[in-house]
């Protein structure tokens, strides 16, 4: 995994070569390569936004599973009575 990448070409087919003045350039389009950072600000912002949208969903699933485990068998007898009364 190289630490440089070309923003214009697909990351699968990237190969780089050194120009005569020592600058790394993309082998496909010839533009200078950009140094890769571990996490840029755009990725951090995207991660925070995704967490803000996903956290209510995760909490909802958590509480639904918690409620499913707390259902008592007495509820079924009540519904059976309701079914026989409405018939």
User: CA 26, CA 17: separation in Å to the nearest integer?
Assistant: 6
Contact indicator for 2, 26 with CB cutoff of 8 Å: no
Give yes or no for residue 24 binding Zn ion (CB under 5 A): no
Partner residues linked to 4 by β-bridges = 35
Alpha carbon distance 49, 10 (integer Å): 26
**Does residue 29 bind Zn ion (CB under 5 A)?**
yes
Of 17-25, 28-36, 39-47, 73-81, the window that binds Zn ion (rule: CB under 5 A) is 28-36
Q: Which residue stretch of 27-35, 37-45, 57-65, 73-81 sits at the interface with Zn ion (rule: CB under 5 A)?
A: 27-35
In whole angstroms, the minimum distance from the beta carbon of 14 to Zn ion comes to 7
d(CA 41, CA 69): 41
Our CB check for Zn ion shows the closer of 8 and 63 to be 8
- List residues near Zn ion by CB under 5 A: 6, 8-9, 26, 28-29
């Amino acid at each position: 995994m190289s630490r440089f990448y070309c923003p214009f070409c697909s990351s699968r087919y990237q190969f780089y070569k050194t120009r005569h003045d020592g600058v790394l350039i993309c082998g496909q389009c010839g533009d200078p390569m950009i140094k890769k950072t571990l996490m840029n600000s755009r990725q951090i912002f995207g991660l925070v936004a995704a967490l803000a949208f996903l956290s209510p969903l995760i909490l909802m699933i958590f509480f639904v599973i918690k409620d499913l485990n707390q259902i008592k068998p007495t509820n079924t007898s009540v519904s059976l009575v309701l079914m026989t009364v409405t018939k």
